[in-house]
Chain A
Amino acid sequence: MLVTPTELRSAEARQPPAPTIGGVAMPVWRLIMLAAGLVVVVAIPFALKNFFIFQITLAIIYAIAILGLNLLTGFNGQFSLGHSAFYAIGAYTAAIMMENLGIGYVWTIPVAAIVCFVFGFLFGLPALRLEGIYLALATFALAIAIPQVLKSSVLEHWTGGVQGIVIIKPDAPFGLPLSSDQWLYLFTVAVAIVMYVCATNLVKSRTGRALIAIRDHPVAASAMGINVSLYKSLTFGVSALYTGVAGALGAIAIGFVAPDSFTFVLAVALFVGLVVGGVASIPGTLVGGLFVLFVPNIAESVSKGLAGAVYGVILLLVIYLMPTGAAGLVRWMTAQFIRLGRARRS
């Protein structure tokens, strides 16, 4: 026997009380935050101008894309600088379906998801042999190659080549009194909620733990019986799926796809969003999405000529102040509050 029943009972008695802030337990706080978040989310389309609704929609779309990247790089440790490729594939899938095949926009989401999953999985297979910097280069190569492929005359008939494809933005269905921006926002939020719930469940499940184990110590993980190759490839697929869905939504929101829309600049932006939001943090991706959309605009309003430099400086400040991202900052602040609470009580 390793532990006697008496030792176990006294150990239980010696457990510190559950952490609280201001007397309210953590799980309750989380519910409060979630409820507040939902209220804000639903209020937005009725409180803001169409243009801002459009911007928030884009921020949420980028957040979903970053979530995809997070699953791969944050939770599974596979460094990807090429997620703009999957975003592009999702976007073009939606565009081709809507304009060339005349299929409704709702169906583009699941189809983009499947197509991108397949692409991601297929790319993940040879990528198994590559680690760290080499994988980064391979994914970067993918990000560069995709616009070239989209432009090529071989596929021009489907992709529209350099001209791109113009997409007609859908209106609210059933004659609801909503502008197309408001409707698109609600549609995006609905999709986002589904995707976020799935991601949270995935990460908390056994599969999620397996992914994290592979990230932290692949040899030990494999020694424990985890099929590392299969999980890594599947993660690539799932990650591509998420970013592809974001791409499809993005295509519908912008109303246009062209090879120039999906350069490696986008891949870099998604990566920056990942780190700023907090690696391996699901709520952090929302901060990342907001950052990717709004900070370049802020930088431009500060200085037209030096917008890039201002952006770089802001980025450096963010990294200095929050080296583990926004999620890291929230975690640290929460820990401070809890400690304050404990100190005051004792």
Chain B
Amino acid sequence: MRSENRALIASLVLCVALAGPALAQKKYDTGASDTEIKIGNIMPYSGPASAYGTIGKALGAYFNKVNAEGGINGRKVTFITYDDGYAPPKTVEQTRRLVENDDVLLILNSLGTAHNTAIQKYLNTKKVPQLFVATGATKFGDPKNFPWTMGWQPNYQSEGRIYAQYILKNHPNGKIGILFQNDDYGKDYVKGLKDGLANKVMIVAELPYEPTDPTVDSQMVSLKASGADIFYNVTTPKFAAQSIKKAAEIGWKPVHLLNSVSASVGAVIRPAGLENAQGILTALYGKDPTDPVWNDDPGRKEWLAFMDKYYPEGDKTSSFPVYGYSVARTMVQVLQQCGDDLTRANVMKQAASLKDYETGMSLPGIKINTSPTDFYPIEQMQMGRFNGESFVPFGPILDGEIGGS
């Protein structure tokens, strides 16, 4: 080979060798570095929704586990969580504190529909990811208008449609009585059911209650008197327990559809009375931790080990820690996919590229999928029936089909 050619080849090789590290260069936005990833979170640890605070604790516990096992790609997670007392102005203040004062990379699993609405514009303007919001409100999966906001759980309207499908198939001549919380969450669920029923007139009673009501006894009495034989129960845990107890007490035994938010053995069914809840239906996307059928399931075993070691004071019969665990695992998956490119843009990109991801506590067959046009990670659910001990899944995996692909 002539010397000029050798020189040319040598310089080409040198260029490629120099370019190599440049291609694998690390990229960071505020909140990420070689050693640390800062994640921010706002939860109602006090106030009317304080029962959900356990989700925040589960999230923190999971990140402790991740750090104890070496972190994500060698980086430790610093999880900063603040209380907003379930008041949107406080949510705004705490979010700004996290973004501007604590310099977090992203906001994870902030809870509450109005609360997430309050911070949505701010986070999208500042281009900070608002990931896996802890609400099923349908509006949070809108990549065209809010490219930095993504939901996680099946949205409420999808779930309502699934119940509508079930009713149309199994009780086409029934009369539906609805008890719903008079806020965004309740109304979203009702809309989903109504959309799913299309024009079929089946609803005979539609009664709201306020979270400030001491009991829902009056509504239950009216529902029974309305002659409904299907009960669509859109209540939060405390009122779900009251309604289940009251229904049994007044001798009302309708086909009982309970929304997934309150389908928790530990937090709802057990206080209400296991025998009173026989036959209650719900739509599941996660494994019921009390169901003995999962005793040998590796996903459930891993969750139990996590609870024992990192969150021993948590309730192992409640679905809330399962929820927190699953959200945290999804977050870790996204961060792992990011590799060394921990820019906010890449975090969103990876969040929108989840393919058939399973969190270990999701029901077999239910997978997390996202794409640039599909910001609803979980869209599938399966019907479950309470058999006196746990919610047992039955039937096929259903798709709620709302928006996205």
In their complex, do chains A and B touch, with some C-beta pair under 8 Å? yes
* Residue B86 CB within 8 A of the other chain: yes
Contacts of A50 in B (CB 8 A): 100
Interface-central residue, A51, A164, A260, A263, by most chain B CB under 10 Å: A260
Asked whether B187 lies within 8 Å of A261 as measured between CB atoms, the reply is: no
The 8 A CB mask of B15-56 against A (1 = contact, 0 = none) is: 000000000000000000000000000000111000000000
Asked whether B122 lies within 8 Å of A258 as measured between CB atoms, the reply is: no
Contacts of A266 in B (CB 8 A): 87
The answer, among A151, A168, A261, A304, for a CB contact under 8 Å with B45, is A304
Say yes or no: A256-B117 contact (C-beta < 8 A), given A50-B100, A261-B89.
yes
**Bound form: Cα–Cα A105–B245 in Å:** 50
* Residue B212 CB within 8 A of the other chain: yes
Contacts of A305 in B (CB 8 A): 45
Asked whether A300 lies within 8 Å of B89 as measured between CB atoms, the reply is: no
Contacts of B122 in A (CB 8 A): 255
Say yes or no: A51-B87 contact (C-beta < 8 A), given A151-B182, A255-B118, A265-B47.
no
List residues of A (228-277) whose CB comes within 8 Å of B's CBs: 250, 254-256, 258, 260-261, 263, 265-266
Contacts of A163 in B (CB 8 A): 113-114, 117, 184
**Bound form: Cα–Cα A162–B120 in Å:** 16
Contacts of B113 in A (CB 8 A): 162-163
Contacts of B171 in A (CB 8 A): none
Contacts of A144 in B (CB 8 A): 212
**Bound form: Cα–Cα A5–B210 in Å:** 74
The answer, among B87, B97, B184, for a CB contact under 8 Å with A162, is B184
* Residue B195 CB within 8 A of the other chain: no
* Residue B101 CB within 8 A of the other chain: yes
* Residue B252 CB within 8 A of the other chain: no
The answer, among A51, A161, A308, for a CB contact under 8 Å with B46, is A308
* Residue A98 CB within 8 A of the other chain: no
Asked whether B88 lies within 8 Å of A261 as measured between CB atoms, the reply is: yes
**Bound form: Cα–Cα A112–B115 in Å:** 24
Contacts of A119 in B (CB 8 A): none
Chain B proximity of A115: nearest CB distance (Å): 21
List residues of B (150-188) whose CB comes within 8 Å of A's CBs: 182-184, 187
List residues of B (45-94) whose CB comes within 8 Å of A's CBs: 45-47, 81-83, 85-89, 92-93
Contacts of B120 in A (CB 8 A): 166
* Residue B301 CB within 8 A of the other chain: no
Chain B proximity of A53: nearest CB distance (Å): 10
Chain B proximity of A45: nearest CB distance (Å): 15
* Residue B355 CB within 8 A of the other chain: no
**Bound form: Cα–Cα A284–B125 in Å:** 37
* Residue A148 CB within 8 A of the other chain: yes
Contacts of B114 in A (CB 8 A): 162-164, 256, 258, 260-261
**Bound form: Cα–Cα A275–B67 in Å:** 46
* Residue B96 CB within 8 A of the other chain: yes
Chain A proximity of B212: nearest CB distance (Å): 7
Contacts of A300 in B (CB 8 A): 82-83
**Bound form: Cα–Cα A148–B115 in Å:** 18
**Bound form: Cα–Cα A54–B183 in Å:** 29
Chain B proximity of A258: nearest CB distance (Å): 4
**Bound form: Cα–Cα A261–B184 in Å:** 14
* Residue B309 CB within 8 A of the other chain: no
Say yes or no: A164-B117 contact (C-beta < 8 A), given A49-B101, A151-B183.
yes
Asked whether A51 lies within 8 Å of B86 as measured between CB atoms, the reply is: no
Contacts from A to B (Cβ < 8 Å): 49-51, 54-55, 58, 144, 148, 151, 161-164, 166, 168, 250, 254-256, 258, 260-261, 263, 265-266, 296, 300, 304-305, 307-308
Contacts from B to A (Cβ < 8 Å): 45-47, 81-83, 85-89, 92-93, 96-97, 100-101, 113-115, 117-118, 120-122, 182-184, 187, 210, 212
A162-B184, A261-B88 provided; 17 other pairs, C-beta below 8 A? A49-B100, A151-B182, A162-B114, A162-B183, A164-B118, A166-B117, A166-B118, A254-B118, A256-B89, A256-B118, A260-B87, A260-B88, A260-B183, A261-B89, A300-B83, A307-B45, A308-B46
User: Closest 4 interchain pairs by CB?
Assistant: A51-B100, A256-B118, A258-B114, A162-B183
A-B contact pairs, 11 of them (CB 8 A): A50-B100, A162-B113, A162-B187, A166-B121, A168-B121, A254-B88, A256-B114, A260-B88, A260-B114, A261-B87, A304-B83
